[in-house]
Amino acid sequence: MAVTKTMTKAIPSEKSSKAQEWRLEMKYENDSEGDATYYTSTFSHTAKAADGDFTAAAKGTFNLAALTALCPVSSWDAVFASQVESVITSPVVPPVPDESFSVPS
């Protein structure tokens, strides 16, 4: 399982030229599009300086690593692994009806 994580959105909310809040979005992909094992999911999170998630600073001081560190990646990893498990690796197989069965006498 080759999982790719891509930050797709990072929207700062500023006050006094400092980011006070970040709305973040990360796309997870299992394998490559077109593969039988391909699966994708998008997670989002809002980090707030007021909640102690980070120290307010100019938005330009935040690089990809700093923004990624604001995300609950370990939780997202677990959820995505569970999604892939239930959809790709071990999907639920519904029972097959036997229309030829006759009620015994």
Can you give the pLDDT at residue 94? 86
Does 95 reside within a domain?
A: no
Can you give the pLDDT at residue 55? 97
Does 103 reside within a domain?
A: no
Contact of 90 with 74, CB cutoff 8 Å: no
Does 102 reside within a domain?
A: no
Q: Which of 78, 79, 81, 99 is nearest to 90 (CA)?
A: 81
Can you give the pLDDT at residue 92? 79
Structural domain containing residue 44: 3-89
Categorize the per-residue pLDDT at 1 as very low, low, confident or very high, splitting at 50, 70 and 90: low
Instruction: Determine the Cα–Cα distance for residues 66 and 74; give it in Å rounded to an integer.
Output: 15
Does 58 reside within a domain?
A: yes
The count of structural domains within the chain is: 1
What is the gyration radius of the CA atoms in the chain, in angstroms? 21
Instruction: Determine the Cα–Cα distance for residues 74 and 61; give it in Å rounded to an integer.
Output: 24
Does 25 reside within a domain?
A: yes
pLDDT digits (tens, 9 = 90+) for 33-51: 888 999 999 999 999 999 9
